[in-house]
Structure 1
Amino acid sequence: MQAKSMWRSMPPDVQQQHGQDSEHFRKCLDYLREQSAGELEGIYGPDSMTWVLYREPVILLGGLRAILLQIAHPAVASGVSQNSNFRGDLLGRARRTYTAMYQLVFGGLREAMGAAKRVHSIHGRVYGSLPAGADPRGDGRYRANDPALLRWVLATLIDGAIVVFETFVRPLSLEEKRRYYQETRLAAAQFGLLPEQMPPTLEAFYAWYDEQLAGETLRVEDTALELASLLFNSPFTRGQLDELLTAGLLPERWRETYGLAWGTGEQRAWKLLKGTMRRAINLTPPTLRYVTAWHQAQLRLALARGERPTVMARVLNTLDSYVDVPFSIRPVAVKAPTDDKD
C-alpha cells in the first residue's frame, strides 16, 4: 500500500523515469547474478580485493571524507537535505548505511541482492527540485537514481577505500588497485549502473575523477555547509579528532572549501596520528581486527565446506545473535556438531 501511495503521488514525468530506472536496475541484477562469485560466496568472494579492503574497520574512517565530497555536488546535497532524516537520526542513518554496505560486500548472494534492491528502492523515493542557481545541468530537478549522481557517489567510495587503506594499513600495488577497480563494476551494478556506465580502467577512472574534483560541477554551497556542520557536531563526531582525520584525508581544494583547519599544528598532529594508527593496526593480529561481517562470511563458507569455523568467528556470530555487534551482517545459523570439543 505504501509503495502504491508513493507511486500515485509522483508527477507523471517522475513516474515514467522511475519505471525506466526500475527496468535498468533489473538488467543490473541480471549482471550481478551472472558475474557473482557464488550463492554462498556472495557478489565478490573471499579471493577478492574488495574483501581485503573492507574487512579492515579503519575503512569506515573515510566516511566523513566521502560524504563531504558527495554533497559537494549540489544535487546530492539537495537530495540528502530534502529527503533524509540526516538531521534527526544521524547515528541511526549511519548504522543502517554501514549494515547495508557490509551486506553488499560480505553477504551471501541472496542477502547481497536483497540489500541492493532495498538501496535502489530507497533511492527511488528521493527526487525533487533544486534551489535556484544550484543546478549544474539546467533542468532544475534531481533524482537519486540518476546515473550521473550514482556514479559520483560510488566514485567517492572507490577512491576513499584506496586512500584510507593505503594511509593506515599498507600501500597497494598497481595490480591490486586495478583488480579492485575491476571488481567495482559489481559495486556499480549494485548501485544501478551497468559496467559500460563506468570508466573501463583504473587509469580512465582517475582521469575522470580528477577532472570532476577540479571542475565546476562540484561546488560547496549553503546546503553542503549546513550538512557538514551537522556532521562535525553530532553526539559521536563532535571534537577535533574527526575534523583532523577528515582534513588529512581530503584533497587540498576541498579541505579549504569546507574551512577545515590545516596549519602547522594540524599537519604535525596528522603525521603523528597517521603513524601511530598505522603501527597499531599492523601490530594487531588480523583475526582480532577484521570486522565481524568478514568473520560471519568465513563462518558461512566453512560450514558449507564441512570445515571447522574459527573460534573467533563462532564467538562473534553468537554474540551478534544476542546484541547488535558493530560492523556485522545477519547472524549465521549454526548447528554445532556433537563431537565439537572446543
Structure 2
Amino acid sequence: MTAHQEAAPVVRQGSRVSRRRELDAMDTRALRRAVNWFLLVGGTSNVIMQLAMQPVGYGVMQSKVTEGSLFGNPKRRVRTTLGYIAVAMLGGADERAAYRLATNRSHARVKSEPGDTVPYKAFDPALQKWVAACLYMGAESAYTLQNGPLEGDFADDFYRQGMVFGTTLQMPEDAWPASREAFGEYWDETLDDLVIDDPVRDYLMRIVRLEYLGRRIPAWLLRIRRRTVAGHLPPVFRDLMGMAWSDEDQRALDTSNRRIKAVQKLAPRWLRELPIRRRLRDVRRRLAQRVPLF
C-alpha cells in the first residue's frame, strides 16, 4: 500500500467532517418562513406522527433518559424539543453542532434491551429520517396554513433546507430524498408500515389529555385540545389513533385556523417568531455560559 493510499481514509474522514460543517451552516431563509404560531399549534400532532413508527414510539415511551422525559420533567422536555426546532430552523453552524453533540449523549442511552417487544436504537438513520420527515411535514403545514401552497423554486429551496431536521441529528445527507417527488414516494410508502398499538396509543392519549402537567384540566379545554390535535393530523394518523372526526370538527378547526392566520397577517415577523426565537436565545445563553443544553 502506498503512502497516498494509507492517507486516503483520513482525507475522506476530513471531507465528511467538512461536509457536516457545511450542512450545519446551511442557509435556511426559505424554511424560516414556516416559523409561526401554526408550528406550535401542530406540535402534539407532530409528536403523534413521529411515534407512529413503532420503534420511535417504543424508544420514546421506554426511554431510560427519565430525567428528560415529558412525564418525568415536562419543562425540560418542552425546552429541549423546541430548542432543537429553533436551532435547526434558525440557528447557525456552531449551535447545530453543539445541539447534535448534546442530543447524541442523550440518545446513546435510548436503545432496546434483548427480549424487548420492539427493537429500537435512537442512532438508527432510518428512524432519524422518519422523525426529520415528520418535522419537515409540520413545517410545510405551518407555512401552507399561513401563506398557501409552496410553489416553484421557493418550494424546492424550502424542501432542500428541510434536511436540517435530520442532519442536525446524525442522519446522512444522502438519506434525505433527492426531490419533493421522491419525498412524497417515501412518505406514502412509509405510511403503509406505521403501527400505533395499544400501549403507544395510551401513552399518546395521555399527552393529548395533558396529564404530564400533573393537574386537573377543565373538560372544555380538553375538548378544544383534542379537536386541535386531531385536526392537525393527516387522516391516516387520526385513524391509527382512533380519533373520530366530524364535519362539525372540521368547521371549528377551519374557523380557528382562519383567526390565527388573520392575526398573524397583521403581526410583525418578530412576534410570529417570538416563541421559537426565545428558545434560540436560551440555547445561545447556555452555550455562552457553558451551561448544559440538556
**What is the TM-score of this pair, normalised by structure 1?**
0.69
Partner of 2:22: 34
Query: What SS is found at the alignment partner of 1:67?
Result: helix
Q: Which residues of 2 match residues 33-72 of structure 1 at below 5 A?
A: 33-36=21-24, 43-45=25-27, 48-54=29-35, 56-72=36-52
- Structure 1: which 5+ residue stretches go unaligned? 1-24, 37-42, 136-140, 295-324, 334-342
Q: Hey, what does 1:218 align to over in structure 2?
A: 194
Considering only aligned residues, what root-mean-square deviation do their CA atoms show, in Å?
2.9
In the TM superposition, residue 267 of structure 1 has moved relative to its aligned partner by 1.5
Kept in 1: contact 2:38–2:145 (CA 8 A): no
Q: Contact between 2:82 and 2:279, CA under 8 Å: does it hold in 1? A: no
Matching of residue 227 in structure 1 with residue 203 in structure 2: yes
Alpha-carbon shift at residue 169 of structure 1 (Å): 4.1
8 Å CA contact 2:82–2:276 kept in 1: the answer is: no
- Aligned equivalents of 1:293, 1:86: Cα separation in 2: 19
Distance 2:252 2:62 in 1: 36
8 Å contact 1:87–1:230 — kept in the other structure?
A: no
Structure number with greater Rg is 1
Deviations along 1:254-299, one digit per CA (max 9) or x if unpaired, are: 11221223113212211211111111111222233222665xxxxx
> What's the offset of the Cα at 1:219?
0.9
| Number of aligned residues | 264
Residues 54 and 195 in structure 2, CA contact (< 8 A), matched pair in contact too: yes
State the one-letter code of the partner of 2:205. S
> Per-residue displacement from partner, 1:105-126 (whole Å, max 9, x unpaired)?
3333222210111112211221
Preserved contact between residue 136 and residue 165 of structure 2 (Cα < 8 Å): no
Deviation at 1:180, TM superposition (A): 1.5
Alignment check: 8 A CA contact 1:105 1:112 kept: no
Quote how far apart the aligned CAs of 1:53 are. 1.9
Q: What residue is the counterpart of 1:247 in the other structure?
A: 230
Q: Which residues of structure 2 form unaligned runs of 5+?
A: 1-12, 288-294
Q: Does 1:74 align with 2:54?
A: yes
The worse-fitting range, judged by mean Cα deviation, of 174-183 and 203-212 is 174-183
Query: Which secondary structure does the structure 2 equivalent of 1:144 belong to?
Result: coil
TM-score, with structure 2 as normaliser: 0.79
Answering whether residue 185 of structure 2 is matched by residue 207 of structure 1, we say yes
Instruction: State the structure with bigger RCO (CA 8 A, min sep 6), 1 or 2.
Output: 2
State the distance in 2 between where 1:292 and 1:168 align.
Answer: 17
Q: How does 1:90-169 map to 2 (within 5 A)?
A: 90-129=74-113, 135=118, 141-169=119-147
CA distance in 2, matches of 1:27, 1:231: 42
* Cα deviations by residue, 1:296-326 (Å, 9 ceiling, x for unpaired): xxxxxxxxxxxxxxxxxxxxxxxxxxxxx55
Q: In 2, distance between residues paired with 1:80 and 1:28?
A: 29
Identity %: 23
Query: Alignment partner of 1:191: what SS?
Result: coil
Q: Distance in 1 between matches of 2:226 and 2:244?
A: 8
What amino acid does structure 1 have at the position aligned with 2:236? R
- Residue 27 to residue 150, structure 1, CA distance change in 2 (3 Å): farther
3-state SS of the aligned residue for 1:127? coil
Among 234, 239, 244, the alignment partner of 1:256 is 239
Match of 1:273 in 2: 256
Q: Contact conserved, 1:247 with 1:262, CA < 8 A, in 2?
A: yes
Deviation at 1:131, TM superposition (A): 7.3
Contact 1:28 1:194 survives alignment (8 Å): no
- Mapped to 1, the partners of 2:89 and 2:105 lie a distance apart of 18
Match of 2:7 in 1: none
Alpha-carbon shift at residue 58 of structure 1 (Å): 2.7
User: How far, CA to CA, are the matches of 1:293 and 1:258 in structure 2?
Assistant: 28
Question: Which amino acid counterpart does residue 142 of structure 2 have in structure 1?
Answer: V
Paired residue secondary structure (2:60) = helix
